[in-house]
Amino acid sequence: MPRGVTIDHVSFGYNKTAVLDDVSLDVAQGELFAFLGPSGSGKTTLLRLIAGFGTPSQGRVLIGERDVTGLPAWNRNVGMVFQSYALWPHMTVAKNVAFGLERRKFGRAEITKKVRTALDMVGLGAFADRRPAQLSGGQQQRVALARTIVIEPEVLLLDEPLSNLDAKLRVEMRSELKAMQRKLGITAIYVTHDQEEANAIADRIAVLDQGRIQQIGTPTDLYDHPANRFVATFLGTANLIDGRIDGGRFVADKFTLEGITAADGGACISIRPQDITLGPAASGAGAIVAEREFLGSVVRYRLRMSGQHIVVDMPHRRDGETYAVGAEVGLTVDPRQIAVLR
Ligand SMILES: Nc1ncnc2c1ncn2[C@@H]1O[C@H](COP(=O)(O)OP(=O)(O)OP(=O)(O)O)[C@@H](O)[C@H]1O
Ligand SMILES: [Mg+2]
């Protein structure tokens, strides 16, 4: 039976250094939830607290309705896949998968059946007698997954499970992983520092920086409505422009934008590169093309405008207009596509 996870005002530190600061979030039953943040932001630490490897200095961890804050790992029905896979090299694939069941004192026949089901589920039914060293990285990763799902945990915790794989396999495995999570209907928390991976796989994402939650939302929420500068720049490329909003108009040096629906006062707006259109410059109001990169589907321009760099992606068309380095260009922005940050 899958259960949700609640993190309720959790703080944690090693010695006296704070690593997690007042973290709260709810993972729904059956949801695939990602912790996304740069290295050292506290993702693994938070995952370990859910698994029961460590106790928060403040706050509570709940699995379903049950407060598990003080419970040791083996009293929580949680399965964790470690980044390193931690397979036993001297055991066959089947033995690796059976290990957790043996410790839980299942009967021999039942173990054989469960192991077979789990290996079939990850597509490794034919590999039961191999040893980890005779498998590819992706296959080892699937053994680690089979070993975890075979114990039928209520919650599946995955710590950068694909980081050892090459780029192509990583993309394949992430959709397989998502399909499997759906099939099992299991609640899963997926740790990654790769925003593309989080966007591709997660129902919702919690963005962490320096032990604090910056924002929680669906991938599109976070991309379209970032709460702050960190989220705006961590999830994709963003042009951040500082200025003021005054009666529905955003004013910055050399740049004004009408039709803003946000309260008056100092503000920073975030504009995605694809939400700016280049055209001829109105006299003196333009930006200068500093660099132009052809990326295939888009042409990426780096512009200089009052000492600031602006990135613009224009879709590439065979007969489309392009602008040379050094040219002066005008910018058009749809005010509905911007995010106002404070
Ligand atoms: N055992 C430990 N003792 C002391 N400090 C630790 C320990 N483990 C982690 N830390 C510190 O806690 C902070 C958060 O570490 P954590 O492993 O949770 O980060 P992370 O977000 O998982 O990073 P990464 O993406 O690199 O895996 C870091 O500053 C790290 O140096
Ligand atoms: Mg980590």
Q: 15-36, pLDDT tens digit by residue?
A: 888 999 999 999 999 999 999 9
Please name the residue ranges forming H helices in 37-190. 43-51, 93-103, 108-121, 137-149, 167-184
Side chain identity, residue 148:
T
Give the closest residue (by CA) to ligand 1 atom 1: 14
pLDDT tops 80 at residue 291: yes
pLDDT score for 96: 95
pLDDT, mean of residues 228-235: 95
Average pLDDT of 88-101? 94
Q: What is the CA(187)–ligand 1 centre distance, in A? A: 24
Give dist(CA 9, CA 262) in Å, integer.
Answer: 31
Ligand 1, atom 3: closest residue by C-alpha: 14
Domains of the chain listed by start with CATH number: 5-229 (3.40.50.300), 237-341 (2.40.50.140)
Mean pLDDT of 269-296: 89
42 lines ligand 1 (CB under 6 A): yes
Helix (H) or strand (E) holding 300: strand 298-305
Protein residue closest via CA to atom 30 of ligand 1: 40
47 C-alpha to ligand 1 centroid (Å):
11
Is the distance from the beta carbon of residue 211 to the nearest atom of ligand 1 less than 6 Å? no
Relative to the CA of 17, which ligand 1 atom is closest? 5
- Does the pLDDT of residue 7 top 70, yes or no? yes
pLDDT in tens, 71-86: 999 889 899 988 777 8
DSSP state of 281: P
45 alpha carbon to ligand 1 midpoint, in Å? Answer: 6
Identify residues whose C-beta is under 5 A from ligand 2, the ion.
Answer: 44
Return the pLDDT at 284. Answer: 61
Average pLDDT, the chain: 92
Q: What is the total residue count of the chain?
A: 342
Residue 74 pLDDT: 86
Return the pLDDT at 310: 95
pLDDT of res. 165: 78
Residue with CA at minimum distance from ligand 1 atom 22: 44
Q: What is the per-residue pLDDT for 143?
A: 93
What is the β-pairing status of strands 155-159 and 32-36? unpaired
Judge contact between 308 and 238, C-beta under 8 A: no
| Three-class DSSP category at 328 | strand
Pocket flag, ligand 1, residue 41 (CB < 6 Å): yes
Q: Please, what's the b/e burial string for 108-134 (b: 16 or more CB within 10 A of its CB; e: otherwise)?
A: eeebeebbeebbebbebeebbeebbee
Which ligand sits nearest to residue 37's alpha carbon? 1
* SS3 of residue 167 by DSSP: helix
**173, 138 contact by CB (below 8 A):** yes
- Residue 166 confidence (pLDDT) above 70: yes
Torsion of CA 7, 11, 15, 18, to 10 degrees: 120
* Residue 16, ligand 1, Cβ within 6 A: no
**Which of 11, 16, 19, 207 is the best mutation target for the ligand 1 pocket, counting ligand atoms within 8 Å of the beta carbon and taking the most?**
19
Question: What's the whole-number mean pLDDT along residues 294-298?
Answer: 94
Q: Which ligand is nearest to the CA of 43?
A: 1
